Amino acid sequence: MKLFNEIKIGDKIAKNRIVMPPMTRSRASKGDIANELMAEYYAQRASAGLIVSEGTQISQQGKGYAWTPGIYTPEQIDGWKKVTKAVHAQEGIIYAQLWHVGRVSHNSLQPNNQAPVSSSALRAEGVKVFIDPEDRGPEAGTGEMVQHSMPRALSIPEIRVIIKQYAQAAQNAIAAGFDGVEIHAANGYLINQFIDSESNQRTDEYGGALENRLRFMREVTEAVADAIGKEKVGIRLAPFTTLQGTVDRNPSKTYLTAARILNEIGIGYIHIAEADWDDAPEMPLTFKQELRNLFSGVIIYAGKYTKERAEKMIDSGLADMVGFGRPFIANPDLPYRLQNNLSLNEGNRLTYFGGTSNGYTDYPFANLR
């Protein structure tokens, strides 16, 4: 079964083709610092071929939810060193997901309570973010979901600053011990807000024509690749989803063009997020086939995959690795369970975001290997 075969990712050899994809868990300490509890959580799951960390903001402006970690201060870098050291002690591979939420934020989370930023001054109605108005911290496990604040459009000089912040965040990630980075360009966050036609109403070189809408993605990826080496860079895309109000008129053309650009840059992998809600439309097989033809690096898919579906995707050659998201929350030894056809623990949704070790590091292993 190829799912349990080794594969090269970046400059490392992954022990299997199972990916733990990024999942926000909102356990960071004050100052948005990764902590010992997070180190334990990730180390428990180090049997994955690749771990991609939860979304990690590249600046305070990039923050969209309470209790999420950053990677732009010395203290945050030191916090992540605890995590990477713990994962490497278990012979795991871990990448940092670099995150700027763009408009999906709230004034209370922004520097000096400023407006969030985006490609365009458009608000996605009904899109909510998680805030902690009473500053109780993640241990309280309670906060408030509120409509994201009205954003303002970024100026070109500001765009160039953010591109540099991505590159610096990538260097910070390597300094913190990560094996590489994944650029978050999916799920309706900042890069996605530039890519998709309905969320980008700019008329300058970052809007309008497809080449212009993809310019920000390209320039961020080039900057990050130059900063740490292209083989250590991945990117996450969500071609056919409409999360956080991002919609594209022609997603096949848009994202296959993106793949062509990313292949020219020569990054290590593309991570495709498929729709994972009930009754979600399936991604067209023709898209997956064309993506495989266009991109020569590692291709990862994630989105409600079972062991059987994952094996089929890898055997077909359309995917090189497959992500299993929520199952990793409740099953720290998921690869072992999958390989041995063991039953899976059920996750407790009430403890997914915020809280303590309960529902985070206390899920049982199948055995005590």
Q: What is the pLDDT of residues 326-362, one digit of tens each?
A: 999 999 999 999 999 999 999 999 999 999 999 999 9
Whole-number pLDDT of residue 277? 64
- Name the residue among 176, 171, 169, 156 with its Cα closest to residue 77: 176
Rounded to whole angstroms, how far apart are CA atoms 260 and 263? Answer: 5
363 is catalytic: no
- Tell me how far apart the alpha carbons of residues 48 and 45 are, in angstroms, rounded to a whole number: 6
User: 3-class SS at 99?
Assistant: strand
- What pLDDT, on a 0 to 100 scale, did the predictor assign at position 228? 98
CA angle 127, 72, 244 (to 5 degrees): 15
Percent of the chain scored above 90 by pLDDT? 90
Active-site hit among 42, 189, 305, 360: 189
Give dist(CA 271, CA 347) in Å, integer: 24
Crossing angle of helices 156-175/215-228, nearest 10°?
30
245 pLDDT above the threshold of 90: no
Residue pair 41/352 in contact by the 8 Å Cβ criterion: no
Beta bridge partners, 234, equal 182, 269
Element (H, E) at 75: helix 74-89
Please tell me whether residue 273 adopts helix, strand or coil conformation.
Answer: strand
Q: Are 52 and 270 in contact (CB under 8 A)?
A: no
Stated length of the chain: 369
Mean pLDDT of the chain: 95
Q: Which residues face 78 on adjacent strands?
A: none
Q: What pLDDT, on a 0 to 100 scale, did the predictor assign at position 80? A: 99
| pLDDT of 279 over the 90 cut | no
As a whole number, mean pLDDT of residues 85-107 equals 98
Query: Cα–Cα distance between 200 and 19 in angstroms, integer?
Result: 31
The whole-number average pLDDT for the span 170-187 is 98
pLDDT, tens digit, for every residue of 13-46?
Answer: 999 999 999 999 999 999 999 999 999 999 999 9
In this predicted structure, the answer to whether residue 99 has a pLDDT above a threshold of 60 is yes
Q: What is the pLDDT of residues 119-129, one digit of tens each?
A: 999 999 999 99
CATH topology of domain 2-351: TIM Barrel (3.20.20)
